[in-house]
Structure 1
Amino acid sequence: MEKCLTSKFGTSHEYRAGVNIKLVRLLSQVLFRHSALVRNIELGEYQASSDIAIQQKSRISSWGEY
């Protein structure tokens, strides 16, 4: 008899609908509450990270849709 591999993804209490709650909380803190300046590599300028968070919000919220 061969052994079967079984995925345990999503079985932990930390997961709800396949989303790691700790990761969501961390991203929320970094993206929406952090006010440090972040270098914008493309423009060679500094922007408040909250400005970048607004630009990246739609990209991050679509991660689970693939």
Structure 2
Amino acid sequence: MITTYKKILVGVDGSDLANKAFMEAVEVAKRNDAELYVAHIIPSTVYVSPDAEDDGDGKRSCEGATSG
């Protein structure tokens, strides 16, 4: 029995591996005449302003930091 796909979901985040997965998903979608859905994944990394205060525990707090 041959597996066919009607809908394909691929997540991309800009990495080389994600781009490779995307290109593979495109080829699988073409071979199966399937719909391809792309989810752009945004990393949840939090960047803290250099103006943030050190709480003494190695973590920084944004309290008291100015916004530019």
Q: With the length of structure 2 as denominator, give the TM-score of the two structures.
A: 0.29
> Which structure carries more strand by proportion?
2
Higher Rg? 2
Relative contact order, higher structure (CA 8 A, sep 6+): 2
